[in-house]
Structure 1
């Protein structure tokens, strides 16, 4: 347990931990009814990032959570498998940076099935609109 807390609160993963705490607080506010899940969607279209069709809050929350899990998991794996050394320290510092593009790709896969839950979002397929295998309108 001490290793997990150390991995989550150590540098530089603390940046993703802080972002995850902000995300959790936002969703607590949504659950309490003080705000809505679509409060950040004024004129943002995530289609260019491959995450269109869901509210921005859902996409960013998923991205943050996946990046945090990848970063903390990588740090824990390094702690278990690699002896402490300067090279291990450099790898640990690079893990959150490397986790972000991987998390973005995984988030694109995770939000794809959610499109039908949010039919009014930009980037959602319109009713009756035919999509090809890549997701472009045919």
Structure 2
């Protein structure tokens, strides 16, 4: 038991041992409901599709294991520093392999938003669209359509059947700002 403690508390494993304690604390807090598992995405690590808490946990556990094994095989500071670097790289590489199948557990089901219509074209459905009045039909990315409240800016006036481009959304009154748009067929 003392050899194990010596290995866990020896350099470079001690760095990952501290992080491993943090990971265990994170998972205890997550399992008791103190933390939400659906935290930020780890795309900044090149490990997108799985929450950062899970991804970092995998990186830390794998790095800890690799540094524990490597720390037993080498002696001397230069080689121990090499073990530290190899453990980090190996933990990250191993996490990349393990995260791929986990991505299916975290589908990218972002809730639809009215802001999704910004940048889409629409067709004016009322007699005209002005800075004070107008409705248009817009088609969402999934193929469904919606009738929305639209307003023009400046002196623009659009007639029924005209194509327009939605360039902004105002949550106050749920109004979309549109401008004339010539659509190439």
More helix by share: 1
Structure 2's unaligned 5+ residue stretches are 111-185
1:69 aligns with 2:65: yes
Deviations 1:16-46 (A, max 9, x none): 110110011010001111111123x1xx551
Secondary structure, counterpart of 2:35 in structure 1: coil
Which is greater in Rg?
Answer: 2
**RMSD across aligned positions (CA):** 1.9
Structure 1's unaligned 5+ residue stretches are 79-87, 123-138
Q: Runs of 4+ in structure 1 displaced over 4 angstroms?
A: none
TM-score, structure 2 as length reference: 0.54
Larger RCO of the pair (alpha carbons < 8 Å, separation 6+):
1
1:49 aligns with 2:45: yes
Q: How far did 1:121 drift?
A: 7.3
More strand by share: 2
TM-score, structure 1 as length reference: 0.71
Q: Which structure 2 residues correspond to residues 75-90 of structure 1 after superposition, within 5 A? A: 75-78=71-74, 88-90=75-77
Matched-pair contact (CA < 8 Å) for 1:8–1:17: yes
Secondary structure, counterpart of 1:52 in structure 2: coil
Q: How far did 1:50 drift?
A: 3.1
54-63 vs 11-20, which moves further = 11-20
Correspondence for 1:96: 84
